Amino acid sequence: DSGVTQTPKHLITATGQRVTLRCSPRSGDLSVYWYQQSLDQGLQFLIQYYNGEERAKGNILERFSAQQFPDLHSELNLSSLELGDSALYFCASSVALAGAFEQFFGPGTRLTVL
Amino acid sequence: AQSVTQLDSQVPVFEEAPVELRCNYSSSVSVYLFWYVQYPNQGLQLLLKYLSGSTLVKGINGFEAEFNKSQTSFHLRKPSVHISDTAEYFCAVSSIKAAGNKLTFGGGTRVLVKP
């Protein structure tokens, strides 16, 4: 158990819909990261928040957005869903903004878009 | 920008045999190097990391990796595998000087340990 929790574990929805994925970081970790794992794209970094502020952005679609709340939990919002958005979405957390600090990964949310 | 190439997508290996997983990276800046493992239906777990200093890095579960700057490689090895090592292994890099700490992953190597 990494100490990072993600809900829900599974999500099945239809094209065009909007979903919210939730992540609670390890106690004391200020950085939260979102990654997408799909068969065709592999593991890709989406976005990083540190203490409530966006600090790094990857290949995140405009239909996707995220935020980190004062209690440090984070949500990833996916809208106008397409079949290609079906993937495993991981949240990770680390204690610092940068450097080689370990990122601890949650178990993931498996999103299926039908 | 960085990129990571894992040269083998699948590696079958017999129990108690050695295994080597190959990783090459490309980057215009200095990077930290990592190996993560993903067991079935689980998140990723850090095996080891290279920051600086000795090029041979020891990690958890008997794994080790060697950093080779001239060949831009960071190969992972284990002298004797167990059935429980069946998993997918990911090599990753992050920029030393980046403002954030994003990981760039390779495509993964699936290791299947056979009895």
Closest partner residue to B43 (CB to CB) among A31, A96, A105 is A105
Contact residues on chain B for A44, CB-CB shorter than 8 A:
105
Cα-to-chain-centroid distance, residue B59 = 10
Average pLDDT over residues A103-114: 95
AA letter at B57: V
Residue B18: exposed, middle, or buried by beta-carbon count in 10 A (0-12, 13-18, 19+)?
Answer: exposed
Nearest Cα neighbor of B3 from B22, B20, B28, B36 is B28
The 3-state DSSP class for residue B42 equals coil
Least confident of A30-39, A46-55, B65-74, B92-101: B92-101
Of B46, B106, B108, the CB nearest to A102: B46
* Per-residue pLDDT, A14: 97
Of B32, B90, B105, the CB nearest to A100: B32
Question: For chain A, how long is the longest CA-to-CA vector?
Answer: 39
Summarize pLDDT for B18-73 with one digit per residue, the tens. Answer: 999 999 999 988 889 999 999 988 899 999 999 888 899 999 999 999 999 999 99
- The first and second tokens of residue A22, run together, are 């939730």
Sheet strands (E) in B22-72: 23-27, 31-38, 44-50, 56-58, 64-68
| Closest CA–CA distance from residue A99 to any residue of chain B (Å) | 6
Q: Among A48-52, A97-101, B101-105, whose mean pLDDT is lowest?
A: A97-101
Chain B nearest-CA distance from A44, in A, is 7
